[in-house]
Amino acid sequence: RAMMLEAKKPFSADDEVAFELFAKTAAYYLRATSLVREFNSSSFEFFLHELLSGHIDSEKNETDIASYLFVRPDDSMVMLVFGRRYGDVAPTSMQEVRNGLQELFENSVSFIFEGNVVLFINLREQGDKMIRQLGRAAAYMRRNKLYCGVSRRFDSFHYVPQLYRQTADCCRLGSE
C-alpha cells in the first residue's frame, strides 16, 4: 500500500491522479521484481537468500542456521546449483524446475537464488538414494536444458556464501 499525506496545501485533482499513477507503477515493478517472485512470501526462502548473499553472519549464527535447515551437528551437506545458459529457451520456468528437482531429491531444501535453483542436500538423510537421484536428475537436466554445479561436502555453514559462488561459477562455466 502507498499513502499520500497533505503537507502545506490541500490535495488537488492533479495530485490524486499523479499519486494513483505512481502507485500503479510501483505495484507493477514490485510484481515484476525477481525477489518478490522468488520468495513466494516465504520467510524461510528470504532467510536462505540472505545467507547466500552474505548478509547473515554464518559463523556467529551457525546453530540457528542448522536448526532452521533441520541439520544435526554431525551432518554433512552438499549444495547443488542448477542453471541455464543465458539465452537458452526451455519448456519450463525455473519455479517448475525447482518443483521437479524437489521431487527428485526428497528431503532436500530448495529455493531460487540469482536465477538458479539451489538445493541443500543432507548426505545422512539421502544416503544410498543419492546415486539413483543423480541418475534421474541427469535425464531431467537434459530435458530442461539445465547445467549443474556440485559443491564440495561441508559440515559448517561458515563458508556457504563462498561455496555458493564457486558452485554457481562451475555451473556457468559448464554451460559455456
pLDDT at 45 (0 to 100): 74
How much is the pLDDT for 134?
A: 84
Instruction: Give the model's pLDDT for residue 165.
Output: 92
Tally DSSP H helices, then E strands, for the chain.
8, 4
What are the E-state strand segments in 26-67?
A: none
The three grid cell numbers given for residue 149, joined into one nine-digit string: 554445479
**With contact defined as beta carbons under 8 Å apart, do 137 and 110 qualify?**
no
In single-letter form, the type of residue at position 168 comes to A
Beta bridge partner(s), residue 125: none
Q: What is the DSSP letter of 148?
A: E
- How much is the pLDDT for 160? 86
Cα torsion for 81, 86, 90, 95, to the nearest 10°? 40
Length of the chain in terms of residues written: 176
Q: Per-residue pLDDT for the chain (176 aa), expressed as one digit of tens each?
A: 566 677 777 878 888 888 888 777 776 665 544 444 444 545 667 778 888 888 877 777 777 777 767 777 778 888 999 998 776 766 678 889 999 999 998 888 888 998 899 999 888 887 778 778 888 889 898 888 889 999 999 888 888 889 999 999 888 887 77
Half-sphere exposure of 30 (CA within 13 A, CB side): 10
Torsion of CA 49, 54, 59, 64, to 10 degrees: -20
| Cell output for 36 | 518478490
> Which grid coordinates belong to 163?
561455496
Which pLDDT value is given to residue 36? 44
Query: Looking at residue 10, what DSSP letter applies?
Result: P
Which pLDDT score is estimated for 35? Answer: 46
Sequence-distant (6+) residues with CB within 8 A of 71 are 65, 77, 122
